[in-house]
């Protein structure tokens, strides 16, 4: 029985993709079950091969790595994601962390770090490449600061926090309802409860609060 960890590798640059596959498969723990250069193929590949992990470029044709993360979360696909990026952009990092990514690597060091990253994720840990590990500290500090200023945030339920994050993306109640599979009325009730807990009064105050603090949720 094959007990290797199954991986899919997705990068639209064939040289990078094949280099990753060769490096990954040199370790006896891992097996690359599928590969692609097209973001739109990823969700179907996950459903077909049921990999343990997926290694994705954040920038892909037809569907970005972040959109894939979001789509996989909506469909409750059980797979751990590792993101590759050439951009040292903290906003991308924050977005990926919010979407549940387990590993985050810069492309220029990915070949030397990918196996260590996969092993860390396999053990249930997160792996952030050293060059941007301070982003995680920055995020932690922002969250602590926001909670000090608005301690009632800790009283929000998990669903209310998710609604707040979606409001920060400037999504309508209808869009939020579709994303979390509830009625518009339920979303409106969540918005009312969030406002009450945070002491927000007045038209658009919740939206203003969410957008102002979206990097801290």
List pLDDT tens digits, range 53-91: 999 999 999 999 999 999 998 888 999 999 998 877 788
What confidence category does residue 21 fall into, taking pLDDT thresholds of 50, 70 and 90?
very high
For tokens 């919010």, the residue is 98
Q: What interhelical angle do 65-74 and 90-98 show, nearest 10?
A: 10
Alpha helices in 9-61 (DSSP H): 14-25, 42-49
**pLDDT value at position 80?**
97
Asked if residues 121 and 53 have their Cβ atoms less than 8 Å apart, the reply is yes
CB 113 within 8 A of CB 105: yes
Among residues 183, 208, 184, which one has the least CA distance to residue 195?
208
Lowest mean pLDDT among 33-47, 94-108, 131-145: 131-145
Comparing 33-42, 86-95, 182-191, the range with the smallest average pLDDT is: 86-95
Alpha-carbon distance of 136 to 84, in angstroms, equals: 16
Task: Give pTM, 2 decimals.
Answer: 0.70
Instruction: Give whole-number Cα distances, 42 to 51, 121, 128, 144, 206, in Å.
Output: 11, 20, 22, 35, 35
pLDDT at 214: 82
Range of weakest confidence among 9-13, 102-106, 163-167, 211-215: 211-215
> pLDDT tier at 215 (50, 70, 90 boundaries)?
confident
Rounded to the nearest 10 degrees, the angle between the axes of helix 173-180 and helix 158-168 is: 130
* pLDDT for residue 140 is more than 90: no
């Amino acid at each position: 029985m094959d007990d290797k960890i199954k991986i899919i590798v997705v990068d639209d640059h064939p040289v990078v993709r094949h280099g990753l596959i060769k490096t990954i498969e040199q370790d006896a723990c891992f097996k690359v079950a599928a590969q692609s250069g097209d973001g739109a193929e990823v969700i179907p590949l996950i459903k077909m091969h049921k990999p343990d992990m997926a290694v994705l470029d954040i920038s892909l044709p037809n569907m970005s790595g972040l959109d894939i993360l979001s789509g996989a979360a909506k469909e409750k696909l059980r797979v751990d994601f590792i993101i590759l990026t050439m951009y040292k952009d903290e906003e991308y990092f924050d977005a990926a962390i919010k979407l549940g990514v387990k590993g985050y690597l810069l492309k220029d060091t990915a070949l030397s770090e990918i196996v260590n990253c996969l092993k860390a994720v396999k053990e249930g840990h997160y792996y952030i490449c050293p060059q941007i590990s301070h982003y995680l500290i920055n995020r932690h500090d922002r969250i602590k600061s926001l909670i000090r200023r608005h301690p009632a945030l800790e009283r929000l339920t998990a669903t209310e926090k998710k609604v707040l994050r979606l409001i920060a993306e400037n999504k309508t109640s209808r869009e939020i309802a579709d994303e979390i599979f509830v009625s518009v009325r339920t979303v409106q009730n969540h918005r009312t409860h969030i406002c009450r807990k945070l002491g927000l009064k007045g038209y658009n105050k919740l939206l203003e609060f969410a957008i102002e603090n979206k990097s801290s949720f």
